[in-house]
């Protein structure tokens, strides 16, 4: 990978090098708001209280399965400034309709995605975990501006490939208990 793209420095990918994120599997993902601002509500007494923006983000999260029939969702939680979720990709059942291209009136995002070879080299592969999360984040961003014009995501996401049943159970419990442990959470601010 070159050090520059369009004369700008590239940040090394956090994805596992050489791994195809279109592969069947379970993925634990974390998506954060920019500067970890509490856009989605507040956690009080171990209970996450979603505001309107948080409820909208939850609706878009649940719609992932509609736009990506090869994806199913397991445990997830929307916290004040981040989302944790388990996404299952089934590569045998691949079709996608991106959130953003089906939910915004202005289809310029779709037109931009068709601009040629340079774009295709840097964009996520169709059906990949990155494509799923890019679509979700884009849909939330487009609608979030109605609730809060300052809304923004961190530009990336964290993922962990779930490799065994014990890890899966531990991650499910972590997600379920996230509101209870909020004051000790690394994303608490």
88 domain residue, yes or no? yes
- Decide if pLDDT at 116 tops 50: no
* pLDDT at position 90: 86
For the ranges 66-75, 157-166, 180-189, the lowest mean pLDDT is seen at 180-189
Q: Report yes or no on 13 lying in a domain.
A: no
> Is the model's pLDDT at 41 over the cut of 60?
yes
In a domain, 64, yes or no: yes
Distance (Å, whole) CA 47 – CA 123: 37
- In this prediction the pTM is 0.74
- Residue 162 in any domain: the answer is yes
Give residue 129's pLDDT. 84
Query: Is 34 in contact with 82 (CB distance < 8 Å)?
Result: no
pLDDT at 184: 79
**Domain that includes residue 112, residue range:** 21-177
CB 179 within 8 A of CB 75: no
pLDDT digits (tens, 9 = 90+) for 125-150: 677 888 899 999 999 999 998 889 99
What CATH number is attached to the domain comprising 135?
Answer: 3.30.70.1290
Tally of structural domains, the chain: 1
Residue 101, pLDDT above cutoff 50 = no
């Amino acid at each position: 990978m070159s050090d520059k793209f369009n004369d700008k420095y590239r940040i090394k990918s956090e994805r596992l090098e050489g791994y195809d994120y279109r592969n069947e599997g379970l993925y634990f993902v974390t998506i954060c708001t920019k500067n970890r601002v509490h856009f989605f509500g507040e956690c009080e007494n171990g209970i996450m209280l979603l505001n309107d923006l948080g409820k909208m983000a939850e609706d878009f999260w649940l719609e992932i399965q509609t736009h990506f029939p090869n994806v199913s969702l397991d445990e997830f939680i929307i916290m004040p400034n981040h989302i944790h979720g388990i996404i299952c990709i089934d590569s045998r059942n691949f079709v996608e309709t991106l959130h953003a291209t089906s939910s915004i009136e202005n289809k310029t995002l779709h037109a931009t995605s068709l601009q040629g070879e340079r774009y295709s080299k840097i964009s996520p592969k169709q059906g990949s975990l990155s494509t799923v999360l890019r679509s979700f984040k884009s849909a939330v961003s487009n609608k979030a501006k109605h609730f809060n014009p300052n809304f923004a995501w961190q530009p990336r996401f964290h993922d962990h490939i779930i490799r065994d049943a014990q890890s899966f159970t531990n991650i499910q419990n972590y997600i379920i208990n996230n509101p209870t442990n909020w004051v000790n959470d690394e994303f608490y601010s």
